[in-house]
Every structure is written in C-alpha cells, then in structure tokens.
Chain A
Amino acid sequence: MGNIVGGLAMLGLCLVFWVQRDYSSDNGGLFPDAVMITLAVLSLFLVARGVFWRTETGWDAGERLGWGGLARAFLLLAAWVASLPLLGYVVGGIVFFTLMALLMRTERPTLKNVALDLTVAFVVVGGFYLAFTRVLFVNLPELFI
C-alpha cells in the first residue's frame, strides 16, 4: 500500500505543477517538463509495483510512531511556526519551548517543573536572541500584537 500511496502522491504533485506551466521563453520549459514527465512515469511504475507486487508493503521498515504522539508533534510545530508573525521570536519561542518541554514530560508536571522549563526556555530563546540580534546583527521577528 505504501508504494501506491507514494506513487499517487507524486503523480498528484506532477499534476499540480503541470497545470501551472506558463513559459515565456523557448527553453524555459525544457528542463522542468523533462523532470515532470520522468517523475510521472516513475511514479506510475511505483503504483504498478504496489498493485502487482503485493508481497512488498512499500512502507518504511523503521519504528512506527503512535498517532497521538505524531499529532502532538505536528500541532506543536505548526502552532509555533504560525505564531511567529504575531508573537514574534521571543514570546512565541518562550511559550512554545515551555509547552513542548512540558508535553514531552512522561510524568505529570508539577509547578516546580513548569518553573524549571520556563527558565530553560527563557535562557535558550534569550541566548539565541542576543547572539543573533546583538552580535550578528540579524533581526528576528518581533511581537506584533
């Protein structure tokens, strides 16, 4: 099934790119078209392999992670990144660093744990902030709200 899923995903991607084709020069499409066609053909091979070669699962042989854990990871990362334009680097960083550290604890967190995680978040996020803005002169996203 993994082969069919992977192959169909790649075919879908080729389709999305194909409908976006809008070249203004003679050779502008030479390379991308060749890549898209080859990718589509190989993806079809992968789908065919999944259909006709049922003994091969097509999934990665590595450790499977639980849905709960994956959902926690995806949501945390998505919320952290999405909050950047609003909360900025420092506030967003301290909030989500602390949240991630707390959610990764295997035991129920106490008030002392929360204080410790908040302190570590403050030190790490603040340390990077000072290094980038004061030493390297790289501006980081600021608080917007």
Chain B
Amino acid sequence: MFDLLGQGLLANLTPAMLLLVLVGTLSGMTIGAMPGLSATMGVALLVPFTFAMEPTSGLVLLGAFYMGAIYGGSFTAILVNAPGTPSSIASAFDGYPLTKKGRSEYAIVGATMGSFVGGIIGVIALIFLAPPLAQFSLRFGPQEYFWVAIFGLTIIASLATGSLLKGLIGGLFGLLLATVGIAPVGGDVRFIFGESTLQGGIPLVPALIGLFTIPEIISLVARRTRDATIADDDQQKKDTVWGMVKDVLSRWGNLLRSSLIGAAVGILPGAGGSIANLVAYNEAKRASKHPETFGTGEIDGVIASETANNATVGGGFIPTLTLGVPGTPPDAIILGVLLLHGLRPGAQLFETSGPLVYTFIIALAVAAVMMVPVGLIAGRGLQRGIMALPVRYLAPSITVLAIVGAYAIRNSVFDVFIMLALGVVAYLLNRVGIGGAPIVLGLVLGTIAETGLVQGILTSSGEDLPWLTFFTRPISIVLIVMCVVSAVWPFVQKRRAEARRAQAVPAVPVGQSERGGKN
C-alpha cells in the first residue's frame, strides 16, 4: 500500500496535476460560495468536461472540485449569513455573528484551517480505515438512521439560546415543512395545497436562503445603515494572519473531534456534510468551557462546522470505493464516473487499479493543502471587498445573490417565492423568539427521521411489537444513550455554570447584608 501511496504522491506533484488540482479547488470554491449552486450540482456540471480526459486526471479534477466546493460554502455563510451549501449551515451560527463583531477575517481563517485539517484527516481515514469502517456502516439499518436523525435533533437543546420550548417549536415547524410533498416511503402526496410544484417538497437551498438571509436583508434595508452590523474592527487590523492561524491550530481538540465526527458521519450513506457540521457544532459547544458564547461569535463553532464538513469528503469515499455505496450525493456522481471508465468499486479496486485510486486519494489531500493559500488569499479578499461595500449596495447585492441562488437549484421562480415567504415567516418568528436555526435543523433531518421510522416499522412488521426493534438493537441502544446525553448535557452545563457563579460571589458579612436590606 505504501508503494502505491508513494506513486500517488509523485503523480500528484507533477506540474500538470498540481495545476489541475488548483483549478478544481478554485472553481469548486467559487461554486460552493454561491448559494443555490451546491457541491452536487457543481460536480454534476463538471462531469462532461472530464469525459475527454484520461480517468486519473478526470477523477483528480472532480475530487479537488468537491473538496473546494464544500469549503467555499463557508464564505457566504460567514460574510452574509447565506450558507452556500447545506454543509455550511452551522458555520453561519457563529461565523455571521463574528462578521457582525468585525471579526470576519478571523472567521475566514478559522474556516480555512478547519477545512484543511478536516480534509486531511478524512483522507487519512480513507487510506487506513476504509475496509473495516465500510463493513461497520452496513450494520446501520432504518432504526439506526432514525436515531441518528433524532440525535441531530437533540442539538436543538443547545441551539435554543433563549427558550427551549421555542427551540422545540421551531424544530417541529421544520419537521412539518419537511413532510410537504411526496412521502419518502409509501409515496403519499401530502400538504401540497393544490400546488403541484410542491410535490417535490420544500427545496432545501431556497429554504436555507430564506430562513437565514432574508431576515438579514429586511434588517439592513429597514435600518439603512450598518450600525452594529458588519462593522470593521480595529483589533482585526492588528491581528496577523499567522497569529490567527496559530490560534486556530492550537484548538487541536476541537479540530480532531470534529474531523472524526465528519469522517464517521460521511461513511453513513445519505448522511454527509449537512448533518456532520451540525453534530460537530453541537459537540464543540458541549465540550466547551464557555458554551454560552456559542451563537454570539465563537470561533470554535466555525472551526467545528468547517472541519467536519470537509472530513466527510474522505469519509464519504470509504463506502463509495469499497462497497459501491455512495456516502454523499457528490460521491454518487463520482461513483458514476468510476463506472463509466470501467472501474468497479470494491476491495479489488484497490488492487486492480491501485495507482489510479491512490492518486485520486492523494489528490484529495493535495486539494485540502491547496485550500490554505487559495482560501486565505481569495477568502480574505472577498471579506475585504464586502467590508468595503456601502450598505446601500450590500443589501441589493445579497438580494440578487439570494434570488439567483433560490432560482438556480431547479430553474423555478416558484422556489424564489418559497424563499421569500419562508424569509418573511422567519423574520416574524424571530420577533417572537423562534430562531431560524432549529427550523433548518428540522427541515434537514425530517426526511431522514421519517424514512428511518417508517422503513423500520415496515421491515420489522413480522415482529409482535415492531416498535420494540427501535430500542433493542445494539447500535440503536448506543445511539439512544447518545441522544439522552446530548439532550440533557446543556442543562447540566447550565447548572454547573450557575453553581460556579454562586461560588465565585464572595460571602457577604452578616452586618453588611442587614445594612443592605435596610437600604
């Protein structure tokens, strides 16, 4: 294996291949940064261009593009609160508040370094753990997928900064929106209100743009200034890039944990970056000594999200290359390209086409490395451009981006209407304390939860009590325990923090207390 790895590395270090990886990474970043153009769509658009190339070059270009696209989604999430891809939802939770505080450059550096580390660790997992992890992932049945979705939903407990009740209501509203359209199992057409376009359900990207971006546009247009919003910070000007890079890399616990989460979630077919970034964000908050700072501009939130979503790239290729089961939608497209070139996924692929496979895997790592200089230059350039833009041009520019993003996903004006309607609803719900983040969480996880629930019941319909299978399977039990811990942990942290604060208050002498009482 190490011989093949060495060959792959040498093949990637030729000028032509480096240029190909650079082009792939840069164009992937550009596509990923545009809301509405997902990594999946970008990879699909690129496929015809690879037909004329030899298999190795084509796969290298696709892999580098995919890695860059997942990273590029962070730019708009951080700078204008519009996640470019569903994989960057959690990056907006703290990235945009950092921008509001005038620390957008710090957030971009955090996202870049997180993506780099996540990308590399995902590739390492792909190289060394592919066969055993792929076999393990096959033990996940519908019941386990249901619990994975519920585990994702427990994040609401930590996302709901104000009231847990309102957070849960937001999450359930998202789940209800996810039931619109044709049922994932059974094919019932539900809640379309006579509009056939809704049969495909509420499209995720227009919904994301509406729930996150439209309230910000409303706020900018209504206020007409950027007072307290998207300011520039003197502190940022004093920080050097190297200082910020060192600070991000010193958070190795978060980087490692989020990478492992990303690689593990990436292995599960159908899960991918859209879930990994949320789970990693939640775990970073749970592990933090200052969980109360999350949601207000905590760099660890951005790092966790971006590290995990890039780690899913390597993780997702584990079942794709070893079992032929794509971990994420872009993996499915790349799997198609492999098949087109006559390459059959499986354990034999690593033996029969070893040089090609390892060149492709190393190219993913090279793309992760290339994201650092490219991202630090392009990302910071974009950040400075947005900071310099007067607010009267910023608001309509974001609106143009939002409209194009919502439209492009299905070439449908109806999706733009959905985006606006959800945006206005999100703004109004924000006024009563129901935030957009739990709604998005419900919308993303709803289909996975419903599919797991109904398939689980159908597959165990021969049992006396089909419901019991959700609680008796070994992996399900582990996931249930994780759900309980994840749901309860924020309250434990809150109690601990209160206890610490109570201890920190110095004891007041009795006499003083009495005087205070009289006054």
Contact = CB atoms under 8 A, between A and B. Distances in A.
Contact of A23 (B31, B188, B395): B188
Contacts of B224: 69, 104-106
Given A2-B431, A58-B433, A73-B217, A28 B188 contact: yes
Contacts of B437: none
Nearest to A101: B392
Interface stretch (B57-65, B170-178, B251-259, B504-512): B170-178
Contacts of B220: 104
Contacts of B162: 60-61
Interface residues of B, number: 68
A101 B103 CA distance: 26
Contact of A6 (B214, B221, B404, B434): B434
B430 A60 contact: yes
Most A C-beta atoms less than 10 A away, residue of B176, B396, B420, B453: B396
B179 A31 contact: yes
Contact of A22 (B190, B395, B433): B190
A59 interface: yes
Contacts of B431: 2, 59-60
B424 interface: yes
A72 B222 contact: yes
A49 B169 CA distance: 14
A84 B404 contact: no
A25 to B, nearest CB: 4
Contact of B221 (A14, A46, A76): A76
A39 B191 CA distance: 16
A29 B408 CA distance: 32
A140 B223 contact: no
Contact of B191 (A20, A73, A81, A140): A20
A28 B391 CA distance: 47
B165 A27 contact: no
A125 B400 contact: yes
Contacts, number: 193
Nearest to A127: B400
B169 A39 contact: yes
A121 B400 CA distance: 10
A60 B221 contact: no
A100 interface: yes
B4 interface: no
Interface in A64-107: 65-66, 69-70, 72-74, 76-78, 80-81, 84-85, 89, 93, 96-97, 100-101, 103-106
A96 B399 CA distance: 10
Contacts of B168: 42
Nearest to A64: B431
Most B C-beta atoms less than 10 A away, residue of A29, A58, A74, A138: A138
B363 to A, nearest CB: 23
Nearest to B183: A28
Given A25-B188, A28-B186, A42-B168, A13 B221 contact: no
A69 B396 contact: no
B458 interface: yes
B132 interface: no
Contacts of B37: 136, 138
Contacts of B176: 13-14, 17, 32, 35-36, 39
A110 interface: no
- Tell me if A's interface is mostly helix, strand, loop or mixed: helix
Contacts of B407: 84, 89, 140-141
Interface in A1-39: 2-3, 5-6, 9-10, 13-14, 17, 20-32, 35-36, 38-39
B161 to A, nearest CB: 10
B436 to A, nearest CB: 12
Given A2-B431, A104-B391, A46 B166 contact: yes
A6 B340 CA distance: 53
Given A10-B169, A27-B454, A77 B397 contact: no
Contact of A45 (B165, B183, B433): B165
Contacts of A74: 218, 424
A139 interface: yes
A74 B189 CA distance: 32
Contacts of A21: 190
B404 A132 contact: yes
Contacts of A66: 222
B222 A60 contact: no
A97 to B, nearest CB: 4
A84 B420 CA distance: 12
Contacts of B185: 27
A124 interface: yes
Contacts of A43: 169
Contacts of A78: 420
B193 interface: yes
B408 A59 contact: no
A140 B420 CA distance: 17
15 contacts: A9-B432, A13-B176, A20-B191, A25-B186, A30-B454, A35-B175, A65-B219, A69-B221, A84-B407, A84-B416, A89-B403, A104-B395, A128-B400, A128-B401, A136-B37
Interface of B: 31, 37, 45, 162, 165-166, 168-169, 172-173, 175-176, 179, 183, 185-191, 193, 214, 217-225, 228, 391-393, 395-397, 399-401, 403-404, 407-408, 411, 413, 416-417, 419-420, 423-424, 428-434, 446, 449-450, 453-454, 457-458
Given A3-B432, A23-B190, A62-B430, 20 more contacts: A6-B169, A17-B191, A23-B188, A24-B186, A25-B186, A31-B179, A39-B173, A42-B172, A46-B166, A72-B221, A73-B221, A77-B423, A101-B396, A120-B393, A132-B404, A136-B31, A136-B37, A137-B45, A138-B408, A140-B407
